[in-house]
Amino acid sequence: MAEVISKDLIRGHTDTIVLNILQQGDSYGYQVAKRVRELSHGHYELNEATLYTVFRRLEKNGALTDYWGDETQGSRRKYYHVTAVGQQMLTEKTADWQFAKPIIDDLITGKIIEED
């Protein structure tokens, strides 16, 4: 079994993860969860309860809309679509991450060099 990433390490980034997946194409819950597993190479799974909490929060913020798909492939599925607000949110959160990533790396692994 693959080693897994702590949920605490991912917390705070789930909205961005979901927006990243959905900006690549409308999708439904199970498929989004599957994409999370694929993108993390099996090291992280977004459980259903957390995923639907993210969907509700992003819809409330205007970042997502939803619609019902047709029944051609079994049961009807609720699909989620990223809005312009969601695209802007993803852009901002991605920029924040790019800024924070090296700083966090330095804070966690950096060594203090004493100056004379």
Mean pLDDT, residues 75-91: 95
Q: Is residue 1 part of a domain?
A: no
Q: Rounded to an integer, what distance in angstroms lies between the CA atom of residue 98 and that of residue 41? A: 21
Supply the CATH number for residue 62's domain.
1.10.10.10
Amino acid at 37: R
Task: Say if residue 4's pLDDT is above 70.
Answer: yes
Q: Is residue 2 part of a domain?
A: no
Mean pLDDT is lowest, of 25-34, 65-74, 97-106, for 65-74
Answer yes or no: is 115 within a domain. no
Range of the domain at 70: 7-109
Reference 45, options 4, 80, 83; nearest CA is 4
Question: Amino acid identity, residue 89?
Answer: M
Provide the terminal-to-terminal Cα distance of the chain, rounded to the nearest Å. 49
- How many domains is the chain built from? 1
Asked, for residue 82, whether it belongs to a domain, the answer is: yes
| Tens of pLDDT, residues 22-58 | 999 999 999 999 999 999 999 999 999 999 999 999 9
